Structure 1
């Protein structure tokens, strides 16, 4: 006797064993989504901890530098004007760099700047000696003296 819709029970359909592969469990998709969300949460937490650690190590807001201008460019020098913010009356070690038109470094210097008592913002003019004609002058960073 052949089965018709009237003879099949209204429950889940019954398939011949081994014919259509393994059946999925009803909650399998939710478990994978929950696992992926938990892994993403752990990744975000780890990256947040790493960024806080790196900020504490390298990103001190008390020491900021900003290039004002670079002038007097010749084949072997550059005059760099920049502004440094330090703690009141403090000092900083600033790393300066000059690059040529191709981006190669032609000078790199570390200078120490010191603020007068009560002063936080310094305007510095520094002449850099270069090994080739510079194209740009930069302040890479300023940090507390060691």
Structure 2
């Protein structure tokens, strides 16, 4: 048996082009990861500002006075002390379609942090449910 030693191949100069630098290939995945992380943080911050403000938390209490043209939505909103909120209300028919929308502004009295309100929403057909879509600082 004979022994063979592993050696790196020797290519003639200029025959097979230049060798690629491995450092350049490592740079691309790092760059892509940094761009993805930056985009994720930007998206998270914008969605939090739009939907996640804990100072404006709305809860549906119920709905009543349902007619073919109107429904009254009763809800509570948590706001900063003495603040106000702009809330989007929606009325939906039994099949799930939207039959009424209304935006209302409700204000706390004194230094209260919870507002209880009942607002009528005009509808184009008989509604079966009333909802609070979201509440946010008045703007």
Same fold (TM > 0.5): yes
Q: Partner of 1:92 in structure 2?
A: 85
**Structure number with larger C-alpha Rg:** 1
Residues 83-133 of structure 1, C-alpha deviations (whole Å, 9 max, x = no match): 111121122221111111333211111112111111110111223221101
SS at match of 2:66: strand
Aligned 1:34-49 pairs, distance under 5 A: 35-49=28-42
**Matched residues, number:** 135
CA displacement, residues 67-94 of structure 1 (integer Å, 9 cap, x when unaligned): 1222343332222111111121122221
TM-score normalised by L of structure 1: 0.71
What are the within-5 Å matches in structure 2 for residues 1-146 of structure 1? 6=2, 8-11=4-7, 28=22, 32=25, 35-56=28-49, 59-146=52-139
SS of equivalent residue, structure 2 residue 109: coil
- Which structure 1 segments of 5+ residues have no match? 15-21
Q: CA deviation at 1:7?
A: 6.8
CA shift at 1:62, angstroms? Answer: 1.8
- Please identify, of 45-54 and 88-97, the stretch whose mean Cα deviation from structure 2 is larger: 45-54
- In 1, Cα distance between equivalents of 2:29 and 2:85: 46
State the TM-score, normalizing by the size of structure 2.
Answer: 0.74
Unmatched 5+ stretches in structure 2: 11-15
**Cα-Cα RMSD:** 3.3
